[in-house]
Amino acid sequence: MNRNGSRIVIDMSWFLNSLRHCFIPLWRFVGSVLGSKSKDVVLSIEYYCCDRPNPLLQIIYLVIISFTYYFVAKSSFPYIPGYYLSEIHWYLSLEAVAIGILLFLLTSFSDPGTITADNVTHYLSAYPYDNIIFSEKECSTCKIPKPARSKHCSICKRCVARFDHHCGWMNNCIGERNTRYFMAFLLWHFLLCLYGTVAIALILAGRLKELKVVYILTVYYGIEKTLWDLAPHVVQWLLGSYNTQILLMVFLAIISMLLFGFFGYHAKLCLSNTTTNETFKWQDYMELQRKVKEAKASAAALRQSISGLSNERKPSVSKWRSFFRRSPLEDVVVVKNNVYDKGFIHNIHEVVSPLSTRTSFTQSKFKSS
């Protein structure tokens, strides 16, 4: 997967970036047509929306979840209790949505692990420099040492420990201290959408039973009682009578699949103790190493062929053998040595209980100060 492709999987904030890339040329054209003053206004709006923290996507999230819940409640709650669902789902669904919003607020407003001049020494002791993708240096903006695995967020204008990415939907960085909430948010919303999809499916299945649709179709309309014959008629009846519910079910199923993808991607990163930021760094490092090794292998192959040409007594290699001989470039292997990966149980523990929140870390903090 290429770098841009990975970004799409990483965070739904790609949506904002995509919008930005699609509309920037049009946006600037409008600005240039309207004159220099309007162009300044256009550029400052673009700066506010894309390069500064702003609650735009947070508001969109709240609108989406509220409206989805409202439409689900309005269209489907009248059929609860039904054949398959009891009235407990009235309260259960509301509680599930409330927990989802709480997780959203927790991720949005929690400290991702902001590094300041006061706490930088403690964050420096959390992770050693691997001298591969992280080496000792200073943040040129904050003018403080940059702990290993940290990054300066250009949107929030601060250094964040174990930086993963800046999430536009949360209007917050995802870092050492709030990756756990972010993961819980993704998992919970995946389960919430799945719950919605299954619940609506069960309501529709219940309606089929209660209204004896299959019985009517087979007895009164003389349709064969086989799945193959009944399915088109049942689908037609559902689309005609419950189109809102079908639309909501399809919407929730698509969102749940997307969320499962996001959660799976981030879970894989957590299990190998890697951050999104580090995957880009590793990609750059591996690419560079591969190029260096390939250059070395090409130089060695060239030297070998020159010495072969100059040595006339050497028996010539048959054409077939030289055809099937492996290219030295095929042997180029670049190994990723992630020193922070200490086995998946340890890695999960590190996400659930970040190093900077542990008592042992706080104690060492006081000792060092």
Catalytic positions, please? 167
152 near Zn ion, judged by CB under 5 A:
yes
Site string for Zn ion, 64-93 (x = CB under 5 A): ------------------------------
Buried b (16+ CB within 10 A) or exposed e, 351-367: beebbbeeeebeeebee
Mask for 325-344, x = binds Zn ion (CB under 5 A): --------------------
Shortest distance, position 172 Cβ to Zn ion, whole Å: 6
- 346 phi and psi angles, rounded to 5 deg: -65, -40
Span from 137-145, 272-280, 296-304, 321-329 in contact with Zn ion (CB under 5 A): 137-145
Q: Please select the residue that binds Zn ion; options are 8, 102, 155, 258, rule is CB under 5 A.
A: 155
DSSP per-residue string spanning 166-188: EETTTTEEE-TTTHHHHHHHHHH
**CB contact at 8 A, 156 and 52:** no
Q: Which is nearer to Zn ion, 144 or 248 (CB)?
A: 144
Among 32, 141, 327, 362, binds Zn ion (CB under 5 A): 141
Nearest distance, CB of residue 123 and Zn ion, angstroms:
12
- Nearest to 111, CA basis, from 352, 363, 356: 356
Q: 139 vs 223, which CB is nearer to Zn ion?
A: 139
Neighbours of 126 (CB within 10 A): 22
Question: Smallest gap, in angstroms, from Cβ of residue 19 to Zn ion?
Answer: 19
Retrieve residue 70's tokens. Answer: 């409202």
Q: Is 20 in the site for Zn ion (CB under 5 A)?
A: no
The stretch among 29-37, 167-175, 208-216, 335-343 that binds Zn ion (CB under 5 A) is 167-175
E-strand ranges in 55-175 read: 114-115, 137-138, 145-146, 151-153, 158-160, 165-167, 172-174
- SS3 of residue 266 by DSSP: helix
Q: Which of 12, 103, 173, 184 binds Zn ion (CB under 5 A)?
A: 173
Of 57, 80, 159, 259, the residue at the interface with Zn ion (CB under 5 A) is: 159
Question: Minimum distance between the CB of residue 153 and Zn ion, rounded to whole angstroms?
Answer: 3
| Residue for token pair 């965070």 | 11
Q: How far is the CB of 151 from Zn ion (least distance, A)?
A: 8
**Which of 80, 120 has the CB closer to Zn ion?**
120
CA distance 35 to 12: 34
* Closest C-alpha to 259, from 170, 186, 167: 186
50 forms part of the interface with Zn ion (CB under 5 A) = no
Distance (Å, rounded) from C-alpha 314 to C-alpha 263?
60
* Chain positions contacting Zn ion, by CB under 5 A: 139, 141-142, 152-153, 155-156, 159, 166, 173
